[in-house]
Structure 1
Amino acid sequence: MSSNTDNDVELLQVWLEDMTKNLQQYKEPILDEEVVKVLKIACDTFKQDVHVFVSSIEILEEYIRRKDKNYDEILILATSIFISSKFTGEQIDLKAKYIVKFLHRLTNVEYNFREVVAAEVDILRILDGSLPMSTIVDDINTIIELHVREIRLKANIRPLSLEIVQLLYICRKTWFHELKNIYSQNEESFLVLKFLIGCRLYLPVVILITCLHLTNYKYILDIGSIINDMTNLTKIHHDHLRVCAGIMINLVKSNSN
């Protein structure tokens, strides 16, 4: 039993080191809140989990960044979910016929199987076959498994973490704009923002801190100590973590009224 636990911790440490070393490219959100809400409705309709929701957004936004001509927005949106369901999430892969039915119900336009397949091929071609094999959901799970298991929070904060992830993706332009305003005072501070957004651990850790503040754990745990631990883990100063967590907490509260 101890050997298995040691192996699990070692694997998590390897993943954590990879997350720390590999910075992502700085990219600002593209999709408007209304579009993301449609995508969320589609994922719910198809009974797809938060992994598929997040990776579909990543696929759709990257397609839009690279595409240099007009395209059928709702077809590409639905096909992004179709593609994502094939390699992520825990549900059964979607069938093209369900995409066709959804498109007809949403637009009252007759789509067909060939159009969905053609859109899938176009997305994969534009993205050079490069799809997000892991998402912020996997990163959050890693943080929880590796750093929170000792205080027995895993079962309690994971559902809330996933709810926050969905809200953050729906309202991504809102909080990103607020964060960008804070870090756009000069060129040096904007470079800090680019680093933070590029760090895979930044948002998962901020979401963890947000969860702790939004639960009764804030009364029984030393959150300051946990933030210091997260600072040591991420090499991100605690002030940056607190600033973003403050934005997230306000966002959650404003959307729960």
Structure 2
Amino acid sequence: MKAALRILAIVLLASLAMVGRADDTLQPGDYVLGRDVGTLTVQPAFRGTQVFSISVVGANAHTCELGGKIKGGRSTPDDQDQKPLCEVRFEKSGPSSLSVKTNEADSCRSYCGARAWFEGTYVLPPSGCSSAEIRRSRDAFKKAYDRHDHAEAERLLSPMLVQCKAVMSPWDEDWIRNDLALAQHKLGRDAACLELLAPLAKDAQDSERDPQAWKDNLELPPVESDIYAGIIAATRTNLKLCRGRRK
């Protein structure tokens, strides 16, 4: 009887240990930080361990790059030569999100440029809204637009402004607005074109009046300032088209 009870206890303890390990397993996938500020890739578990990689782009194109193995929700990333070692902690913060934190060791900063950081909440984007999927949709839009299938071009991109906005970079959103505005113009829907570009219209007007003063007032780092200036230059052209004016 006692032997049977001991066996039962061992089985129960083993079962509880297996449940604990299962609870530590993170959902594999490509997660997004904020509005496409960074990505976290988590591989499927193998023998209780998961491989991860994090890539973040901060202000003025400063970056973070790190990776390693996760066990029990924790990792000491690869390539460390400074002590105390950096420890990264992964916690489930929702059905499709992970919270990433560190032990605040100085060595954690060695993975990042001065204006980038990787802590935060990473989420699995909706279907069709990963960075790669957005790029593919924009490429497909361009092909449809170039063959003058403007209705198909519009169909490919229009859902993204609603479905993907929370995880899409502001630059992608602004370019998609301009792409869709062109398609709307070609379809003879200039009112819809102007509505799409309305959030960018003031910057388009101010930048045309005094380009350098407008750019100085953006208070953006140089890289982001140049990116946004390119977007607004395209917006000015497209607003003129949709208002019935020549470039």
State the TM bucket, normalised to the shorter chain: under 0.3
State TM-score, norm by structure 1.
0.26
Specify which structure has the higher proportion of helix.
1
Q: Say which one has the larger Rg.
A: 2
